[in-house]
Amino acid sequence: MKKLLIYVLSVLTIVALTACGGKKEATPESVPVEPVTIDIYQFKVEIAEAFDELAKEYMAENPNVTINIETVGGGADYGASLRAKMASGNEPAIFNVGGPQDVYDWKDKLVDLSDVPVVKEAFDGANAGVTMDGKVYGIPFTQEGYGFIYNAAILNKAGINPDEITSYAKLEEAVKKLDAKKAELGLEAVFAVAGKETWVTGLHFTNAALSPEFENVFNAFNAKKIDFKYSEGMKKLFDLQINYAKKPVNSVDYSTQVEKLFSLGKVAFMQQGNWTLGAIKGIDEELAANIGFLPMPIVGAKEDSIPVGIPMYWTVNSTKDEKTQAASKAFLNWMYTSEKGKDAIINKFGFIPPFKGFDSPDLQPKDALAKDIMKYASAGKTIQWVFMGYPSGWGMEKIGVDLQKYVDGKLTWDQLIENGKKSWEEARKQ
C-alpha cells in the first residue's frame, strides 16, 4: 500500500487540485424507488448543521428517502459511543471509522464500497487506510491538518515572525517573549491547552512524537511494541505548553480552548486543527482571516512540519438490508459528486476534498488554515497521522489519561512512558 504521505502531497498541491476526471453522478438504478430510511451516526460536530441541511436537499430530490443524522463528537469519545450505539441494537446504516485499527475492529459490519463511483475518484493513497484484502471499506471525509494555531495580530504586536518558527528552539524563544509581554498584549497565557480532551493530548499531541518513530499508520498498526524514541523531545514540547498555559490545564475543554480563550484573544497559541475555523469565524471573522499553523516541533525529528491526514471515513453497515445499503451508497456518492454536494463540501463544510472533480475556482479551499495546510504539503513539510494505527483505546484511555495525571503531578514522565509501553504491548497481545 502507498504511504499516506503520497496522497497528502497529491491532494494538497495546486496541481493535484486541478487534475480532474469526468464528473460522475449516482446511477439511476441506485436511486431508491421504494421508501427507505438511512440512519447516520457521525462524529464531526463542526458540520452538524450544514450536514442536516444537505440531507434535507437530498431528501427533497429523493422523496422516498428519509435521512436521520445523529452527531456525536467534540468532547465525546466517538469510538466508545459507537460501541454503545451498536450494542443498543439500534445500529446506524452509515457510521465512521478512523483507519486500519477501526477497520479491523468493525470488519464484520462493513460493506465493500469499491463499486461506489466516488471511491474511484479518490487521490492516490486516500483509501489506503480502509483497504483490506483488496476491498475498500470506507470513503474519506476530508483532508485535515493540525498544529499550533497562532493569532497573527498578537505575534505581530510582539515583533514575532511566525514564518521563522521552524524549530523547537525558535518556538521556545517566541513563547518566552510572549510570556514576558502578556500584560502589554492582553494575554491570560501563551497557550490554551485542552487538557480535559484526551483526543487532543493522547491522540493528536502524541502523534507529533510517534509519527517519526513509526513513519506511517500501517507500521503503527502492526507494531507489537513502542519505544518512544523521541520521548525527550516529546516531554520538552508538552512541558512548554503546560508551563505557559492557562490553568488549570485539565479543566480546559474544547469549547473553552477554542471559543473562550483563543477566539477572544486571551492566548496566542492553541494546539488544534483546521476544523476549528468555523467556530473561530463565528466569534471573530477578522481573527479567522489572520491565523495560521506553526509546526509541533519534536527535537531530533522533523521539526518544521505539521501532521496532515484523513480524520475519518464514511462506512456502510453490512447488517442492514440490501435496499438500505444501496441507498446509503447512493447518498454518499451524491454528496461528493453532485453540484449541490460539492458546493456544501467546500463552502459549507469547509473540507479539503481528497477527490478529483473539485477543479472549479468556486470549489477551492479559501480559508487561512486550509491554505496553510496546502502550503506545508506543497513544501513536503508534513507528517502522517499514525494515531489511526494505535491499539484500540490506547491513545485516549491510556496515555491520554496518563498525560492528565502527569499534569496533576500524579505521575512522573518516566512512569508515563513505561505505562505507555506496557499498555501498548498488552493491547497487541489481545
Domain positions in the chain: 4-143+310-359, 145-308+382-429
Q: Is residue 307 a contact partner of residue 207, using CB atoms and an 8 Å limit?
A: yes
Q: Per the confidence metrics, is the pTM higher than 0.85?
A: no
Calpha distance 396→77 (Å, rounded): 8
Element (H, E) at 9: helix 4-12
- Domain 145-308+382-429 fold is D-Maltodextrin-Binding Protein; domain 2 (3.40.190)
- 4-143+310-359 and 145-308+382-429 have identical folds: yes
Q: What are phi and psi of 426, to 5 degrees?
A: -65, -40
Give the model's pLDDT for residue 363.
87
Q: Which residues of the chain have pLDDT under 70?
A: 1-33, 74-76
Calpha distance 95→82 (Å, rounded): 8
Residue 96 grid cell = 465512521
Burial of 189 (0-12, 13-18, 19+ CB in 10 A): buried
Give the model's pLDDT for residue 428.
95
The amino acid occupying position 376 is Y
Which of 384, 401, 403, 411 lies closest to 210, judged by CA?
384
CA gyration radius for the chain?
21
Give the model's pLDDT for residue 364.
83
The SS3 call for residue 197 is coil
Judge: domain 4-143+310-359, CATH 3.40.190.10. yes
CA 251, distance to chain mean position in Å, is 22
Calpha distance 391→394 (Å, rounded): 5
Calpha distance 244→189 (Å, rounded): 6
Calpha distance 294→163 (Å, rounded): 8
Q: What are phi and psi of 27, to 5 degrees?
A: -70, 150
Q: Is residue 130 a contact partner of residue 136, using CB atoms and an 8 Å limit?
A: yes
Q: Which residues contact 82 (CB under 8 A, 6 or more apart)?
A: 41, 72, 95, 96
Calpha distance 243→241 (Å, rounded): 6
Residue 5, number of CB atoms within 10 A of its CB: 18
Helix intervals (H) in 263-321: 277-283, 285-288
Calpha distance 278→276 (Å, rounded): 6
